[in-house]
Amino acid sequence: MTTIKDVAKAAAVSTATVSAVINDSAYVSPLLRARVQAAIHDLKYEPSQMARNLKKGRSELIALIVADLANPFFARMVWAAEAAVAAWGYSLVVFNSDEKPENERKALARIRALSCDGALVVPVGLPAHYAQRDAEGRGFPTVLFGRVVDDRHSDTVTIDNIAAGSQVTNYLLDLGHTRIGSITGPLHLTTGRGRLDGMLQAMAQRGVAPEPGHVRSGEFREDVAYSVAREMLDRPDRPTALYVANGVMALGVMRALADLSIHCPLDISIASTDTISGIGGLRPRLTRTEHPIIEMTNEALRLLVDRIQRGKDKPPRNVVFQPALVLGESCAPLKRS
Amino acid sequence: MTTIKDVAKAAAVSTATVSAVINDSAYVSPLLRARVQAAIHDLKYEPSQMARNLKKGRSELIALIVADLANPFFARMVWAAEAAVAAWGYSLVVFNSDEKPENERKALARIRALSCDGALVVPVGLPAHYAQRDAEGRGFPTVLFGRVVDDRHSDTVTIDNIAAGSQVTNYLLDLGHTRIGSITGPLHLTTGRGRLDGMLQAMAQRGVAPEPGHVRSGEFREDVAYSVAREMLDRPDRPTALYVANGVMALGVMRALADLSIHCPLDISIASTDTISGIGGLRPRLTRTEHPIIEMTNEALRLLVDRIQRGKDKPPRNVVFQPALVLGESCAPLKRS
DNA sequence: GACACCGAGCTAATCGTTTCGCTGCATTTT
DNA sequence: AAAATGCAGCGAAACGATTAGCTCGGTGTC
């Protein structure tokens, strides 16, 4: 490994001069500059980011903790985050909490140990958990993404889940459905609770309410949604329309429908939120609200980088994005029968 | 920031002793040990990984460069890699070359600057590019994944692409098809070239050859496959069966079929390789060869960690995995007409 | 000609660890 | 009793960069 000292020796200058050349941080005469550059080139010298970081107290690393790396929604987020982070001159360290608070805790510890400059976190824990972490981690630049657990202390970027739920539900109501069911996400997350609340609000506004057995909560997982759907739909009093809380779950529901020989949209209308991209081949295309995940990720990193570079005294900012209803062919007007 | 010196002062011992306690690297009497631990706890001291790394010359970072982070196949690879890397005690830094050699080069430079301990790379460049890089990067622990470009100097983990091509093609031939076409990947990659070769070999063994217009090469992208498929299939002499080089492309083909109102499998049989997971809802399910991507990723990281820890003098190892043919409903016997 | 001033480049301290080699006490060996 | 041994713990030198503060020769002013 060639160090700055080797270069200094080879160019017959001091390390300070070499450093000045590398970083363009002070005027160096053309003569010396040339000598230094030649030496750098000859010795194939590359400055050690590690030493530099130790001195400067930065690591140029940004951490991303996602709740479920197997979920295409978050995979896409990683994609967007990598691009954004690289554009800001950082590198991306990825962690998967796999929806387990314990893993998230470990990841956060690791992130501090690596002295990452900041973290973008899709939180997994209960609110109480965060209040505590927040007290400890005070001052560590963090942006919470997607699921608000605490909007008083941290920057957050979220989607308006209530709007997502009502948009979809209003559409189903407009098609004449009243027996609308839902397979929800975990209700302690705003992504679960909010979407359900939005649905209930929309229904209440039209004076209808879902039947008890038609609202089942689950997890954001394909297999869980599959089982719940099989159970809920394999009976005569099944709903005529179903709002599924996210894209992965919708896939599980579609699979259940195929197994039960229930035709969508003829026999049942299906709509969801945050449908995963890249499944353009799926027919019928889902009617869903889409989340501008790329813009959301970019905005989150903008906030994060701003906090890293401009300091932590600014008050926390909470950015809320609006979902957009996108029509597929998975919904049909209610058949009179 | 509390440092090891603060702890040493608080516990009235030397920094060496604190270090010994932290790392369990030397015997420390129970008395001092207790004092040190108390001080660590009181001061909420966390050792700086950065300083530690500088001293030890390691970073506990493993880099992953994938060719296309938007491709679910590689997204899944990130998922597997994160888990494996964490299990080995490292953290994962993710880069996306987006199929561009230039980006790959930048990522490699960044990786060296960060002094990552090793890199798992899905190579993008031409062989010549690698021969050169290899000469420079001599000694930097690297495992090449998926697309062999150079098996003499580096560890590699790959799939038997020729086998994948023949397996699928033999299946189609067994169904009676002889007018088999293919939309291939880039032919300078073994994942593109090999699969096509496998197909051609299988056909040659039965004495058939594809018609010229029925083999079109492209890129591993959904939209490219879509356009090629639209063009190739929208004519009377279209093939009766089509082998699509990867999963993302197969989605594009299915989309083209839907637009052209060509029914699969009644009008055309479609088969592919390395189909992406997570699209269980897609109907018909694709007949395809599946790659054991998780095992492959684990093996690649095993090789990488071994090389990081055990040294670089070992000869390079090349591990080849076998694809498995998985039947869906996207292929049907040739209709006599 | 003496003075202050300027600025290119150097010296050395510093970031927070790990670790080599040493000290000095207590125990064992002769 | 003197010498040899063992070993807990310490001091200080690294690791490879950045940077504050200093030196010292050249210019401008009176």
Instruction: Scan residues 156-195 of A and list those with Cβ closer than 8 Å to B.
Output: none
Same domain, A169 and A227: yes
Higher pLDDT, A151 or B168: B168
For B113, the closest chain A residue by CA position comes to: A49
Other C-beta atoms closer than 10 Å to the C-beta of B259 total: 13
* Domain termination site, one of A276, A291, A306: A291
Same domain, B149 and B208: no
- Written as one letter, the residue type at B212 is P
Q: Is B283 on the interface with A (CB under 8 A)?
A: yes
In this model, does residue B135 exceed pLDDT 50?
A: no
Residue nearest to nucleotide C14 (CA to C1'): A55
CA distance B318 to B312: 15
- Tens of pLDDT, residues B309-324: 887 778 888 999 999 9
In this model, does residue B134 exceed pLDDT 60?
A: no
**The domain that contains A248 carries what CATH number?**
3.40.50.2300
Least CB–CB distance from A96: residue in B83, B110, B258: B83
Same domain, A74 and A151: yes
- Which of B74, B91, B140 to probe by mutation at the A interface, max A CB count within 10 Å? B91
Confidence grade of residue B227 (pLDDT, cut at 50, 70, 90): very high
Token representation of residue A170: 């209003």
Q: Average pLDDT, stretch A185-207? A: 91
Return phi, psi of residue B122, to 5°. -95, 100
Least CB–CB distance from A54: residue in B50, B82, B258: B50
Q: Is A86 on the interface with B (CB under 8 A)?
A: yes
A-chain CB neighbours of B48 within 8 Å are 54, 113, 115
Same domain, B66 and B30: no
Token representation of residue B196: 């096509």
- Tens of pLDDT, residues B174-204: 999 999 999 999 888 888 899 999 999 999 9
Asked if residues A146 and A179 have their Cβ atoms less than 8 Å apart, the reply is: no
pLDDT of B117: 92
Task: Give the end-to-end CA distance of chain B in Å, rounded to a whole number.
Answer: 80
Instruction: Scan residues 113-142 of B and list those with Cβ closer than 8 Å to A.
Output: 113-115, 136
Least CB–CB distance from B282: residue in A83, A112, A282: A282
Instruction: Scan residues 89-108 of B and list those with Cβ closer than 8 Å to A.
Output: 91-96
Q: Chain A closest CA to B227's CA: distance in Å?
A: 14
In this model, does residue A25 exceed pLDDT 80?
A: yes
- Nearest to B172, CA basis, from B183, B185, B181, B160: B181
Same domain, B230 and B202: yes
Residue B330 lies in a domain: no
In this model, does residue A127 exceed pLDDT 70?
A: no
Token representation of residue A314: 């600014």
Answer yes or no: is A65 CB < 7 A from strand C.
no
Residue B335 lies in a domain: no
A-chain CB neighbours of B281 within 8 Å are 250-252, 254-255, 258, 279, 282
Q: Average pLDDT, stretch B89-105? A: 93
Token representation of residue B154: 């580096």
Return phi, psi of residue A60, to 5°. 55, 30
Chain D: bases < 7 Å from a protein Cβ:
7-21
Residue A336 lies in a domain: no
Least CB–CB distance from B91: residue in A44, A110, A258: A110
Q: Chain B closest CA to A45's CA: distance in Å?
A: 11
> What mean pLDDT value characterizes chain A?
88
Same domain, B223 and B310: no
Same domain, A277 and A214: yes
The percentage of residues in chain A with a pLDDT greater than 90, rounded to a whole number, is 55
Asked if residues B165 and B201 have their Cβ atoms less than 8 Å apart, the reply is: yes
What are the respective helix, strand and coil percentages of chain B, to the nearest 5?
45, 15, 40
Instruction: Scan residues 37-56 of A and list those with Cβ closer than 8 Å to B.
Output: 44, 46-51, 53-54
Query: How do beta strands B324-326 and A241-244 pair?
Result: unpaired
**The domain that contains A42 carries what CATH number?**
1.10.260.40
Return phi, psi of residue B156, to 5°. -140, 150
- Tens of pLDDT, residues A284-320: 888 999 989 999 999 999 999 999 988 777 788 899 9
pLDDT of A217: 84
Same domain, A92 and A153: yes
Residue B193 lies in a domain: yes
**What distances in angstroms separate CA A66 from CA A78, A81, A82, A110, A123, one per listed residue?**
8, 11, 13, 15, 8
In this model, does residue A274 exceed pLDDT 50?
A: yes
pLDDT of A190: 86
Same domain, A178 and A155: no
Residue A332 lies in a domain: no
DSSP code at position A56: H
CA distance B242 to B239: 7
Buried/exposed code over A204-230 (b: 16+ C-beta within 10 A; e: otherwise)? eeeebebeeebbbbbbbbbebbbebbb
Same domain, B286 and B170: yes
Same domain, B153 and B167: no
Q: Is B285 on the interface with A (CB under 8 A)?
A: no
Q: Is B278 within 8 Å of A82 when comparing Cβ atoms?
A: no
CA distance A183 to A249: 8
- Nearest to B81, CA basis, from B145, B138, B159: B145
B-chain CB neighbours of A61 within 8 Å are 93, 114
In this model, does residue A132 exceed pLDDT 60?
A: no
Residue B233 lies in a domain: yes
Same domain, B176 and B107: no
CA distance B185 to B225: 9
Asked if residues A330 and A265 have their Cβ atoms less than 8 Å apart, the reply is: yes
Confidence grade of residue A135 (pLDDT, cut at 50, 70, 90): very low
* Total number of domains constituting chain A: 3
* Domain termination site, one of A269, A291, A313: A291
Burial of B64: CB neighbours in 10 Å, binned 0-12, 13-18, 19+? buried
Least CB–CB distance from B114: residue in A49, A276, A282: A49
Burial of B120: CB neighbours in 10 Å, binned 0-12, 13-18, 19+? buried
Residue B333 lies in a domain: no
The nt closest to B14 (CA vs C1′) is D10
pLDDT of B147: 80
- Tens of pLDDT, residues B237-284: 899 999 999 888 888 888 898 888 888 888 999 999 876 655 555 668
Calculate the angstrom distance between C1' of D19 and CA of A185: 54
Tell me which residue range forms the domain holding B22.
4-47
